[in-house]
């Protein structure tokens, strides 16, 4: 009954277009409605709920938009029990039917045991699975084995605006009694085998601007007598990484943590079929053939990706233009023990050297727009042990111990600011398609995931 109600609530929550990416007043209203629905759901569970005002967001065009409230909620304060705090978010990436969705993205639709809808796996489904687990104890009129706290936001996809400030402010109040923090905002590496995530890569995002003048040029009038900004930029971007994925910036690998024997064993134990992974990704060939090499280059080595060029002509048609000013965008996924300020210096020195060799009269400016550290968990913590036992109880197997190649900044914020144990306990399967068209969560993952959280509460209580 609890899980049936949970599925009905997931349908109701997916129906809210809580898109935090597009800075539109209507969508901000939807975000406020989403947070109000969640606060109401938690109050009906018996939780004390505080919806903390997020303030406002100043946009580059001068527009100001309100930031949705951040929910702080708690159930139980028994000093004999451990206190587990769950983090989740209820905002989503943009989605439109015409972008290639097979169903309406804001109508939860079941097809062959898969529940399709924007936010189904990222992150409305996992937030509700945690609530379902709490509801199960309430429905059976059983005492919760742990004290539960919730921190739920509505701006994660837009960079968790206002969240870090709130965590710092509440460090000695709301978070003072928290023993453990659980995040369920990523995926397994398999379709059927559960996983525990014990690390994520960081990210340094760069822009490189090459400018001759603010206006564009006609290629018939100026082609052949200029150092063209686009040609300079292509040379700069082409100097960053080779065709085997190796980063060409001198010194970039110097501080990467050495590979240990224990770590090698971890890769061998993981359930991943490289051929199936490649096929499901719709890729002709990966840069590496073995499971171990693929996983190491996704998780424990840095990677450099070129994302786009601002100011270039990219529309259909044949416009004979020379862009006067272009901005290239690329990022480096960071791993332990890379130092972000050292990486910034290495990137700038490398691009300045490449640019100087071109003897161009244009101006070049390199900036690091974003810097986020990698995160590594202590897998010997009690909550990792409790989660392993809960997974064994519910799924009958040991979990894959995985890392995530992407960046989840909130893990570092919790670990650094409140200095409590942080664990990532994913529910979704590898093919859930978070951020993509036809995002889904499997009915099986949603139901078994709700059971997993309930089993985790029981195992945490035993260990404490």
Specify if 96 maps to a domain.
yes
Residues 335 and 420 in one domain: no
Domain range enclosing 76: 2-200+374-463
Which residues are bridge partners to 334 per DSSP?
202
pLDDT score of 448 more than 70: yes
pLDDT at residue 363 tops 80:
yes
Residues 181 and 129 in one domain: yes
Q: Is the pLDDT of residue 147 over 60?
A: yes
185 among annotated binding-site residues: yes
Task: Kindly report the average pLDDT of the chain as a whole number.
Answer: 95
Same domain? 174 vs 321: no
Do 187 and 207 reside in the same domain of the chain?
no
Give rounded-to-5 percent helix, strand, coil for the chain. Answer: 35, 25, 40
Return the CATH number at 227. Answer: 3.30.70.360
Q: How many separate domains does the chain show?
A: 2
Residue 99: the pLDDT is: 93
- Name the active-site residue from 19, 91, 170, 439: 91
Residue bearing tokens 């003897």:
359
Tokens 């073995």 belong to residue = 290
Q: Which of 89, 118, 6, 1 is nearest to 443 (CA)?
A: 6
Whether 295 is covered by a domain: the verdict is no
Could you tell me if 214 and 313 lie in one domain? yes
Confidence of residue 164 (pLDDT cuts 50, 70, 90): very high
pLDDT digits (tens, 9 = 90+) for 83-106: 999 999 999 999 999 999 999 999
On whether residue 218 sits in a domain, the answer given is yes
The catalytic residue among 17, 19, 74, 156 is 156
The answer, yes or no, to whether residue 301 has pLDDT greater than 80, is yes
* Same-domain check for residues 211 and 189: no
Residue 294: inside a domain: no
Which of 372, 396, 431 finishes a domain? 372
If one counts every other C-beta atom within 10 angstroms of the C-beta of residue 316, the result is 5
209 belongs to the catalytic site: no
Check if 156 is active-site.
Answer: yes
Consult the annotation and say whether 307 binds a ligand. Answer: no
Q: State yes or no: 89 annotated in a binding site.
A: yes
Q: What is the CATH number of the domain that holds 396?
A: 3.40.630.10
Provide the pLDDT for residue 260. 92
At 180-219, the pLDDT tens digits run 999 999 999 988 999 999 999 999 999 999 999 999 999 9
| Residue 16 tokens, joined | 């809210």
Q: Identify whether residues 55 and 87 lie together within a single domain.
A: yes
Q: Would the pLDDT of 35 be above 80?
A: yes
255 marked among binding-site residues: no
Q: 435 a known binding residue?
A: yes
Q: Would you say residue 3 has pLDDT above 90? A: no
| pTM across the whole model | 0.87
Give the pLDDT confidence score for residue 5 in this predicted structure: 53
Same domain, 169 and 153: yes
CB 229 within 8 A of CB 342: no
Provide the pLDDT confidence category of residue 63 given band limits of 50, 70 and 90. Answer: confident
Give long-range contacts, CB 8 A cutoff, 24+ apart: 232-236.
232/355, 232/358, 232/360, 232/362, 232/364, 233/208, 233/309, 233/326, 233/328, 235/354, 235/358, 236/208, 236/210, 236/328, 236/351, 236/354, 236/355, 236/364
What was the pLDDT predicted at 282? 86
Q: Is residue 279 part of a domain?
A: no
């Amino acid at each position: 009954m609890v899980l049936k109600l949970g599925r009905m609530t997931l349908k109701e929550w997916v129906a809210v277009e809580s898109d935090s990416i597009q800075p539109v007043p209507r969508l901000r209203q939807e975000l406020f409605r989403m947070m109000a629905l969640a606060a109401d759901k938690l109050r009906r569970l018996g939780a004390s709920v505080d919806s903390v005002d997020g303030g406002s967001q100043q946009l580059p065009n001068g527009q100001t938009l309100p930031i949705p409230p951040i929910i702080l909620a708690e159930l139980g304060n028994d000093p004999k029990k451990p206190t587990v705090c769950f983090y989740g978010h209820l905002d989503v990436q943009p989605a439109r039917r015409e972008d290639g969705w097979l169903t309406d993205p804001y109508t939860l639709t079941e097809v062959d045991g898969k529940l399709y809808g924007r936010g189904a796996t990222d992150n409305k489904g996992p937030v509700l699975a945690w609530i379902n687990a709490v509801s199960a104890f309430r429905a059976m009129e059983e005492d919760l084995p742990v004290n539960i706290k919730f921190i739920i936001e509505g701006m994660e996809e837009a960079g968790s605006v206002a969240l870090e400030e709130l965590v710092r402010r509440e460090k000695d109040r709301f978070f003072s009694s928290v023993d453990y923090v659980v995040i369920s905002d990523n995926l397994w590496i398999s379709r059927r085998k559960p996983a525990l995530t014990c690390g994520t890569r960081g990210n340094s995002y760069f822009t490189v601007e090459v400018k001759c003048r603010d206006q564009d040029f006609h290629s018939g009038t100026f082609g052949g007598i200029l150092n063209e900004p686009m040609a300079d930029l292509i040379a700069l971007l082409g100097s960053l990484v080779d065709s085997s994925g190796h980063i060409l910036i001198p010194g970039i690998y110097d501080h990467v943590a050495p590979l240990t024997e224990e770590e090698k064993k971890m890769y061998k134990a993981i359930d991943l079929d490289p051929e199936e992974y490649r096929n499901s990704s719709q890729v002709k060939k990966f840069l590496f053939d073995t499971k171990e090499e693929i996983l190491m280059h996704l998780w424990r080595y840095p990677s450099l990706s070129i994302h786009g060029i601002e100011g270039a002509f990219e529309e259909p048609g044949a416009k004979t233009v020379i862009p006067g000013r272009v901005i290239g965008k690329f990022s480096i996924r960071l791993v332990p023990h890379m130092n972000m300020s050292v990486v910034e210096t290495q990137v700038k020195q490398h691009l300045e050297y490449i640019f100087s060799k071109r003897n161009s009269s244009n101006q070049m400016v390199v900036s690091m727009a974003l810097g986020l550290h990698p995160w590594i968990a202590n897998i010997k913590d009690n909550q990792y042990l409790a989660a392993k036992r809960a997974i064994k109880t519910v799924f009958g197997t040991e979990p894959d111990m995985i890392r995530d190649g992407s960046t989840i900044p909130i893990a570092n914020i919790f670990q650094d600011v409140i200095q409590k144990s942080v664990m990532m306990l994913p529910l979704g399967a590898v093919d859930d398609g978070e951020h993509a068209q036809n995002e889904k969560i499997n009915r099986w993952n949603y139901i078994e995931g709700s059971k997993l959280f309930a089993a985790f509460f029981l195992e945490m209580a035993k260990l404490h």
